[in-house]
């Protein structure tokens, strides 16, 4: 299972109470107050970690709490502060307060830290109330409560390129050949059930491009049919979209209609996503009728260049790699 959204309850530590104490030693009948302050409660921090792939840790553990501060003690001993907790999240995680649409924060860079909740302040011991007019104070204060809230964590994959296509278009095969990723490949629909990110290397240019293969769309995905929004949210952060269509039409769909439907699903989901730069790539040119369908696609969309490839035979991939680099640069 891949966990890309979950609800969690998070609480910062409470501050420790202040102590009321008086020095009691032989030959010192008027020792005075010596109650220490309470320790501060632990904070809750969020940290972006590129080694964390999804939100499974928060799916199985819904409650997270930092340690409370210790109460103050006699002999002017202040309580120890509570240890903070650091919640490590994958890059691309959005945090919202449960029930609110507004984005609270997001984590985009490895090592980035955000203070989510602040620990409660420790209470004052009676020693801090001593003054020239109050030599034996009997006042203390309680520690303050740490912040607490219910949040929704949502993961949106970060990649330069998003690979978009209907099931069996060959997305996993293409990503496997172009990059270091090893998505599951099989001859049945919905082989890919989780987003997979691969890195395409350009050693001669001293750079890389990240490409995400996400679960295949079906018509009505924008209305949350099939994998619905769980797929579509993963293309929001991509700078470039690659529409991969099956030129062989073995599933009975026309390749040019696939492209129209894919564009419409993105438009229905979010018009801003539909406006992203894109490449149209026709796969499986080694199959029967593919070249004829390629010419029909080119006639249907004369203003769009259709890149013809065969992922399985690795034909046309050099041109595709170059086009990706040009679009991303």
pLDDT on residue 230: 62
Regarding pTM above 0.85, the answer is: no
Mean pLDDT computed over 133-158: 93
**CATH number for the domain harbouring residue 64:** 2.70.210.12
Asked which of 155, 187, 204 is the last residue of a domain, the reply is: 155
Task: State which residues form the domain around 83.
Answer: 1-155
- The predicted pLDDT at position 222 comes to 40
Q: Supply the pLDDT for residue 306.
A: 93
Place of tokens 């018509």: 219
pLDDT of residue 182: 56
Tokens of 162: 């998003």
Task: For residues 93-102, give the mean pLDDT.
Answer: 94
Residue 144 has pLDDT above 80, yes or no: yes
Count up the domains in the chain and report the number: 2
Both 173 and 252 in a single domain?
yes
Strand partners of residue 207: 202
Looking at 155, 178, 195, the residue that finishes a domain is 155
Domain identity same for 68 and 9? yes
pLDDT confidence of residue 184: 47
| One domain for residues 240 and 301 | yes
Residues 13 and 70 reside in one and the same domain:
yes
Is the same domain home to 203 and 151? no
Name the least confident of 100-109, 156-165, 208-217: 208-217
Among 91, 133, 81, 135, residue whose Cα is nearest residue 111: 91
Same domain, 123 and 171: no
Question: Where is the domain boundary, 102, 126, 155?
Answer: 155
User: Could you give the count of Cα atoms lying within 13 Å of 83 in the half-sphere of its Cβ?
Assistant: 3
Shared domain check, 185 and 309: yes
The tens digit of pLDDT for each residue in 51-83 reads 898 899 999 999 999 999 999 999 999 999 999
Q: Is the pLDDT of residue 223 over 50?
A: no
CATH of the domain at 239: 3.40.50.300
The answer to whether residues 180 and 307 belong to one domain is yes
Task: Work out the pLDDT band at 133, boundaries 50, 70, 90.
Answer: confident
Compare 65 and 252 and report the one with higher pLDDT: 65
Q: How confident is the model at residue 24 (pLDDT cuts 50, 70, 90)?
A: confident
Residue range 149-153: average pLDDT?
Answer: 97
* Pair 117, 230 in one domain: no
Q: Which pLDDT value is given to residue 293? A: 92
Query: Are residue 97 and residue 173 in the same domain, yes or no?
Result: no
Say what the pLDDT of residue 324 is. 94
């Amino acid at each position: 299972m891949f966990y890309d959204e979950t609800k969690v309850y998070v609480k910062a530590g409470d501050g420790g109470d202040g102590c009321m104490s008086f020095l009691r030693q032989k030959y010192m009948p008027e020792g005075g107050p010596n109650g220490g302050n309470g320790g501060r409660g632990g904070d809750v921090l969020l940290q972006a970690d590129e080694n964390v792939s999804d939100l499974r840790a928060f799916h199985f553990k819904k409650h997270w709490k930092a340690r409370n501060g210790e109460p103050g003690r006699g002999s002017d001993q202040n309580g120890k502060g509570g240890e903070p907790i650091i919640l490590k999240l994958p890059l691309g995680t959005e945090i919202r307060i449960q029930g609110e649409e507004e984005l609270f924060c997001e984590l985009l860079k490895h090592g980035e830290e955000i203070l989510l909740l602040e620990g409660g302040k420790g209470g004052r011991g009676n020693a801090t109330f001593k003054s020239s007019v109050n030599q034996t104070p009997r006042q203390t204060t309680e520690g303050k409560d740490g912040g607490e809230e219910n949040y929704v964590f949502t993961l949106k994959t970060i990649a330069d390129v998003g690979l978009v296509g209907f099931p069996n278009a060959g997305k996993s095969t293409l990503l496997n050949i172009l990059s270091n990723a090893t998505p599951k490949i099989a001859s049945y629909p919905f082989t890919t059930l989780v987003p997979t990110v691969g890195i395409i290397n350009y050693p001669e240019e001293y750079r890389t491009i990240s490409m995400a293969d996400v679960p295949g769309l079906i018509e009505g995905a924008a209305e949350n049919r099939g994998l619905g929004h769980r797929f579509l949210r993963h293309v929001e952060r991509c700078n470039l979209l690659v529409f991969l269509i099956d030129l062989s039409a073995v599933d009975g769909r026309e390749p040019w209609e696939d492209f129209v439907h894919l564009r419409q699903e993105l438009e229905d989901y979010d018009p801003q996503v539909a406006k992203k730069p894109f490449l149209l790539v026709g796969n499986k040119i080694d199959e029967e009728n593919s070249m004829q369908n390629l010419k029909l696609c080119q006639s249907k969309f004369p203003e769009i260049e259709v890149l013809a490839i065969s992922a399985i035979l690795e034909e046309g991939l050099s041109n595709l790699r170059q086009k990706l680099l040009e679009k991303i640069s």
